Amino acid sequence: MFQGEIEIINGLITNLHQREGYLRLNIDGKKFDFGNSFASVGFIDSHLHLLHGGEFLSMPDLTNAKSEEQCIDIIKQNPFYRGNWLFGRGWNQENWINKKFPTKESLDRAFPNQPVCLIRQDGHCLWLNSKALQICNISKNTPEPKGGKILKDETGEPNGILIDDALELVRPYLPRYSNEQYLMFLEQSIEYLSKFGITTVHDMDVDPDLIDVYQHYFASNRPKINVRLFLSGLKYELEPSKSKIHPNKYLQFVGLKYYMDGALGSYGALLFEPYSDKPDTQGLQLIEISKLKESFEFTARNQLGIVIHSIGDKATNLILLAYKEYSQTSQLKPKFFRIEHCQIVQKEDIPLFKSLDISASVQPIHFISDYQMAEKRLGKRTHFAYPWMSFIKNDVNLCSGSDFPIENPNPILGIYSLVNRENNDPKKIFGNETVGIEDAIRSYTINPSISIKEKPDGIKVGNSANLVILDKNPFQIEKEQIKEVKVLSTICQGKFIFQQ
């Protein structure tokens, strides 16, 4: 944490004078006094969805609903349309009184003639009504796609719930947003994130068809943060020449995103053993190992990095062993390699991250929000779930993010989750993986850049002025008080993007 004077010219730090007790910024000749505040390198969210974040901020929020009926009431009171479809996002049956997946019947009663699509909190599950199923030609005779589930009622008819790769049955029928709507989503998302001191994001699984929207936005005068794009890997591989990106000082295309499995909440995470609360399933494998190895080579040949969604212990093990085999037979390596989420990892697999130069990308706030659900899904396996400190002890690069809009993107809450893990595990059913404050802050500032082979930011002469101004020094307060730290200002490349 820095106190004293920082001079910034044309977006770069040009002079520093360290002195305790006050903070002053001189930006292109204008002085800004912040009193007894503290400057830090701007926060980096290493895993979120920028466009979906703005879309979510525009939609009815179902996060706090306690039942199917409450979700429907929220949609009725605040309808959001994508073309003629009603949309909402954030429902989670684990927060409901009955804990059961919803069905199409309740939606049919409320909306008999209009297609409705409600996205589960994890983004891996859709709740549709009969009208939407009809438009998408999903019936009892529809084959279940590999890597996906179509849940059915006792008569064999689809009950309105689709999981993981079954979502692809719906996407071709969804109306496209207008370009102006997409631009609005980006602006809403960036303005929202800037309030939390975030100056850089790693934007995951972006559809290559939306590259023009991004380039249009970042060529405009709208608010900006630094964006590192990760395009949807399987879609990009089909037509790489179609996805030309002209980088600028804010926007860069750095890697491709793939999926090995689904989500824990919707029973899609791939486990070695069956789910404790659903013993008839072990989750879903979404990509074949042979195809995954082809994607290793594809990213390497195109001088790109690779990131792979992996939540279950078997999913992570399969990725590690596949890359180990690939590395032994090929000289071509992706520019960087990251595994996303890393929620359930067997202890013997953790050293492989280091030996294979793979970073672990985690979302600390998942631990707090998923605590009760994870206990039910995993049973005794909780002792090797969310192994943050084990990664650090094995010298694995640990970077943190939020998965926004699935979770709150506030890095202060993420840091709080890392350093107060034991307080959020009252039953002591998870391993002791609490992280110290220095490592926690590094995971939101330095390590994300290391994970994509970029030079980390720092408050040093010659570096880009990506800064967050905090009212307290997190190193000088009790760790239980960290969540009370407030962001006073956010500065991206020398420009204020948020001021309290």
Is the CATH number of domain 84-173 3.10.310.70? yes
CA 467 to chain centre: 22
- Euclidean distance between CA atoms 323 and 107, whole angstroms: 44
Of 49, 79, 42, nearest in space to 411 by CA: 42
Supply the pLDDT for residue 109: 96
Contacts of residue 334, Cβ cutoff 8 Å, sequence gap at least 6: 255, 296, 299, 300, 304, 305, 306
Peptide bond into 405 cis (omega under 30): yes
CA gap 414, 366 in Å, rounded: 9
Query: For position 121, what pLDDT does the model report?
Result: 84
pLDDT, tens digit (0-9, with 9 covering 90-100), for 25-59: 999 999 999 999 999 999 999 999 999 999 999 98
Residue 469, amino acid: I
Q: What element of type H or E holds 253?
A: strand 251-259
How high is the pLDDT of residue 500?
87
- pLDDT tens per residue across span 340-378: 999 999 999 999 999 999 999 999 999 998 999 999 999
Residue 152: per-residue pLDDT: 93
Confidence (pLDDT) at 247: 81
Q: Reduce the DSSP state of residue 149 to 3 states and report it.
A: strand
**Contact 265/120 with Cβ under 8 angstroms?**
yes
pLDDT by residue (tens digit) across 237-270?
998 987 778 889 999 999 999 999 999 988 999 9
Extents of the domains making up the chain? 84-173, 179-492
CA-nearest of 86, 137, 90 to 112 is 86
pLDDT (0 to 100) of residue 40: 98
pTM of the model: 0.90
Whole-angstrom Cα distance, residue 307 to residue 361?
A: 9
- The fold for domain 179-492 equals TIM Barrel (3.20.20)
Please give the Cα distance from 460 to 13 (Å, whole number).
Answer: 7
What pLDDT score was predicted for residue 27? 97
* Cα 220 to Cα 209: distance, rounded to the nearest angstrom: 19
User: Residue 337 to residues 145, 313, 361: CA-CA distances in angstroms?
Assistant: 28, 18, 10
Report how far residue 155's alpha carbon sits from residue 212's, in angstroms, rounded to the nearest whole number: 45
DSSP-H helix ranges across 40-79: 50-58, 68-77
Three-class secondary structure of residue 5 per DSSP: strand
Pick out the chain residues at pLDDT < 50.
Answer: none
Instruction: Determine the pLDDT at residue 242.
Output: 76
How confident is the model at residue 365, as a pLDDT? 94
Q: Which residues contact 291 (CB under 8 A, 6 or more apart)?
A: none
- 353 token code pair: 């991250």
What is the model's pLDDT at position 245? 83
Asked, as a colleague might, if the bond just before 158 is cis with ω within 30 of 0, I would say no
pLDDT (tens digit, 9 = 90+) per residue, 456-492? 989 999 999 999 999 999 999 999 999 999 999 999 9
Backbone dihedral angles phi then psi of residue 390, each to the nearest 5 degrees: -65, -40
